[in-house]
Amino acid sequence: MEQNVEDYKIWVSCWRGYLIHRLIIYNNDITVHAMIFEKEGVYLHTNAKRSNQDTTIPGFIRIVARAGVPALEWSPLEDDGRNAPAVLYSRKDGEGGEEDTNFDPGYEPDWAVISTVKKDREHVPVKESGQWAFSLPLSELYSLRRARFSLGRNFLVLTSRGGHPLPPLHFHRGGTRELLRALQHYIILDQSPVDGRLFLAYPLDSGALSQSFDKLHLLDDGGSDLVSRFIHDPYATTFGGFSKVTNFFRAALRPPDSPAHSRSAQDPSLPSQPDDEPGFELITCGVELGPRPDVTRGRPLGNWEEFLDSEGRVKNPEKVKELVFRGGITPSLRKEVWKFLLGFYPWNSTTKEREDILRVKTDEYFRMKVQWKSVSEEQEMRNSLLRGYRNLIERDVNRTDRHNTFFSGNDNPGLTLLHDVLMTYCMYNFDLGYVQGMSDLLSPILFVTQNEVESFWCLTGFMELVHQNFEESQEAMKQQLLQLSVLLKALDPELCDFLDSQDSGSLCFCFRWLLIWFKREFSFEDILILWEVLWTRLPCDNFHLLIACAILQSQRGELIGSDHDFNTILKHINELTMKLDLLSMLRGAEAIYLQLVRCKDLPLKVQQVLGLYVPSSSDEESPDSQSSETQRLLAQSQAAAAASSSACGSSSP
């Protein structure tokens, strides 16, 4: 409710400012200066390469309508004034106070807004000012990029229509979402279809506004006279013309003591109150996903021989994967089945062929091992890369799963095997080498196989799935965090809004989860089950993201119902280690998947994350196409639910 009221205040102030703005335009004898929006704790990032100056300056960001012209202004905190100089950006350099035309915005090129359209414009004269400050008319705003650093700090990069980037604005206390909402009542912010962080700004004139409504199909009639009708009767035009109003605004517009607030949201059969606005259809914010189904887990895969033919081929690999996904694998069979799941053995190989594969792979492994074993100390002194890999591996091996008896104690042979396999992997994939976290991926595999050669080739199969997580650019990790955000927004917009308000909307606290597939979040025994489930790639390749969603939603009450900020959210998430129930998380993740795939109006971005839609050259291809694994899982879930109602389910995962 507090969020609704806050957004209502922003909404009312923006529309009030918009009306003032329009009155000024259409009635020149009215002159009003209005403060539309203000946010403290916005830091301007100056030239980071100049060590003799502050690189960040605290201040205020404001939207101010001066003489009818709305402008986006920033002023330093110590200035605390309401009159920002009318310049794009300026600083006092020596005595001249001249504008620095070669200003270095101080952010990485990857995050920069690069405008390909450059126009010669008349620059506003620079005022003599010792502070960094700017006042940019919204009509001069060309684009903005909203992004976050890896630690969750929101920032905006603005670009003027002259192609000049302004210094980045860092929002240490949140507020980028509210600022964008306020801006959208004066200009149109069109999200780039290529880069979801980039917004292009268009003037909010009659033509552009009508075009935007036509694109959204929100009006039944033409909408060409929308602005003129809005000026004459803004209330009727806004609410009557749209005919659909979200329950978000309905709840905010109603007074707190209204009887409607006591109406149960779970009982839509109750009659409407007399003060209900007639002719309005309420729709929820976001997509109506429908109920989340109950999910039961099955028994672990237990009789391996029945899936093999007379020559040792796996007769039905898909059935094996389904059983593993549903209940995991009996511990005594893991050593054999994992080699199929991780690609060491082909599913259609015979027993004889697997013996040949093992012999060939053993020879190949030891040839690679000899390569680094034969490097002398003198040679290694001149090979900084290999020396660096060895140092990292030795450091990580000494602190990986030492509580497990297989790796505990000093001079443990398990530690030697862990070290040797990782060093050999550096020779196998020298471009990637060793990155911190790989020892976490190897230790469960080595524990199960207890064989140096087999664990190495199983590791290479695992790395085929996750190697991009360890690449220096970390583009894959950024993409996964973005995909996780897409899923969470569809599932729980309220939780997303809360995290975003606390500078945690980037979900950076999930980084470790995704990097090493929850290795440090669950117990060692649970990880064996979780990984074999994920290796089936059922019901979709990104099932690990649904696991993350299930964990976050399990904590929503603790997060939203408390006074958490960015630091305490991070602390709370880290303290979940070894406290999560794997069975509940697997059930929750599968239930989330089934809930999403049953939604008829599932957003395209969510479909892409779940693998339900793959863009193709044919525009007529239906985005609702689903894989056979999905259909099979749906049918299997229904059958399992029916069976569980008539018999007690097994307690095994």
Compute the average pLDDT of residues 201-208. Answer: 65
Note the pLDDT of residue 1.
54
Grade residue 59 by pLDDT with cuts at 50, 70 and 90.
Answer: confident
Q: How confident is the model at residue 636 (pLDDT cuts 50, 70, 90)?
A: low
Q: 548 is written with which tokens?
A: 């993350």
User: What are the distances in angstroms from CA 529 to CA 15, 229, 460, 520?
Assistant: 54, 62, 19, 14
Crossing angle between the packed helical segments 475-491 and 582-597, to the nearest 10 degrees: 70
Contacts of residues 366-370 at CB distance under 8 Å and 24 or more positions apart, as own/partner, are 366/453, 368/424, 368/427, 368/428, 369/420, 369/423, 369/424, 369/427
Give 143's strand partners.
159, 200
pLDDT-derived band of residue 79, with 50, 70 and 90 as boundaries? low
Structure token pair of residue 267: 């009982």
Tokens of 568: 């305490």
Strand pairing report for 56-66 and 34-45 = antiparallel
**Residue range 258-275: mean pLDDT, rounded:** 38
H or E stretch at 108: none
pLDDT exceeds 60 at position 44: yes
Please give the CATH number for the structural domain made up of 330-470: 1.10.8.270
Q: Point out the least confidently predicted range of 152-166, 195-209, 392-406, 473-487.
A: 195-209
At 462, the pLDDT band (50, 70, 90 cuts) reads: very high
Q: For residues 560 and 223, which has the higher predicted lDDT (pLDDT)?
A: 560
- Entry pTM: 0.57
**What's the pLDDT at 93?**
36
Question: What is the per-residue pLDDT across 133-185, written as a single tens digit (0 to 9) for each?
Answer: 888 898 888 888 877 653 456 778 888 887 777 888 888 888 888 888 888 88
DSSP character for 52? Answer: T
Tens digit of each residue's pLDDT (9 = 90 or more) over 100-138: 333 333 333 322 222 223 334 344 332 333 457 888 898
How, if at all, do strands 134-137 and 141-148 pair?
Answer: unpaired
What is the second-level CATH architecture of the domain 33-77+132-205?
Roll (2.30)
- Confidence class for position 638, pLDDT limits 50, 70, 90: low
Mean pLDDT of 258-282: 37
pLDDT at 238: 41
- Higher confidence at residue 571 or residue 652? 571
* % pLDDT > 70, the chain: 65
Handedness of CA 225, 227, 229, 231 (dihedral sign): negative
> In the prediction, which pLDDT does 22 show?
41
| % residues pLDDT > 90 (the chain) | 44
Rounded average pLDDT over 527-550? 98
Q: What's the CA gap between 180 and 501, in Å, rounded?
A: 13
**Helix orientation angle between 438-449 and 413-428, rounded to the nearest 10 degrees:** 120
Minimum mean pLDDT range among 2-11, 179-188, 447-456, 579-588? 2-11
Instruction: Return the bridge partners of 76, or none.
Output: 59
Mean per-residue pLDDT of the chain:
75
What mean pLDDT do residues 377-386 have? 90
Q: How confident is the model at residue 4 (pLDDT cuts 50, 70, 90)?
A: low
pLDDT reading at 479 higher than 60: yes
Q: What is the pLDDT of residue 144?
A: 86
CA of 88: how far to CAs of 45, 96, 123, 132, 140, in Å?
15, 17, 8, 10, 10
List, for residues 305-344, the tens digit of each pLDDT value: 999 999 999 999 999 999 999 999 999 999 999 999 999 9
Is 270:264 a contact under the CB 8 Å cutoff?
yes
More confident residue, 57 or 620: 57
Tell me what pLDDT residue 632 has. Answer: 52
- Model confidence over 399-431: pLDDT tens digits? 999 999 999 988 889 999 999 999 999 999 999
**What's residue 21's pLDDT?**
41
Phi, psi of 338 (to 5 degrees): -60, -35
For residue 629, pLDDT beyond 70: no
For residues 191 and 321, the model is more confident at 321
State the pLDDT at residue 184. 86
Q: What is the pLDDT of residues 216-253, one digit of tens each?
A: 444 444 444 444 444 444 444 444 443 333 333 334 33
Q: Write down the H helix ranges in 450-565.
A: 452-466, 475-491, 493-501, 511-515, 524-535, 543-554, 556-560
Partnered with residue 56 across adjacent β-strands are 45
**Is the confidence at residue 258, as pLDDT, over 70?**
no
pLDDT of residue 157: 84
Q: With bands split at pLDDT 50, 70 and 90, how would you rate the model's confidence at 191?
A: confident
**Do 330-470 and 33-77+132-205 fall under one CATH topology?**
no
CB 580 within 8 A of CB 551: yes
Q: Give me the residue spans of the domains in the chain.
A: 33-77+132-205, 330-470
**Does 68 score more than 90 pLDDT?**
no
Name the E strands within 17-133: 34-45, 56-66, 69-76
423 vs 176: CA distance, rounded Å: 46
Indicate left, alpha or beta for 362 from its phi (over 0: left) and psi (-120 to 50: alpha).
alpha
CA dihedral 400, 402, 406, 407 (to 10 degrees): 60
Question: Tens of pLDDT along 344-353?
Answer: 999 999 999 9
Other beta carbons within 10 angstroms of residue 313's beta carbon come to 17
- pLDDT of 368 strictly over 70: yes
For the chain, what is the total number of helices (H) and then of strands (E)? 25, 11
- Sequence letter at residue 129: S
The span from the CA of 33 to the CA of 12, in Å, is: 17
Looking at residue 69, its pLDDT comes to 87
Using the predicted structure, report yes or no on whether residue 532 has a pLDDT greater than 60.
Answer: yes
pLDDT at 391: 94
Query: Which class for 154: exposed (0-12), middle (13-18), buried (19 or more C-beta within 10 A)?
Result: buried
335/340 Cα distance (integer angstroms): 10
In tens, the pLDDT along 5-23 reads 555 554 544 544 444 444 4
Q: What is the dihedral of CA 3, 596, 217, 276, to 10 degrees?
A: -50
Q: What is the pLDDT of residue 56?
A: 75
Rounded Cα distance between 492 and 611, Å, is 20
User: What pLDDT is recorded for position 2?
Assistant: 52
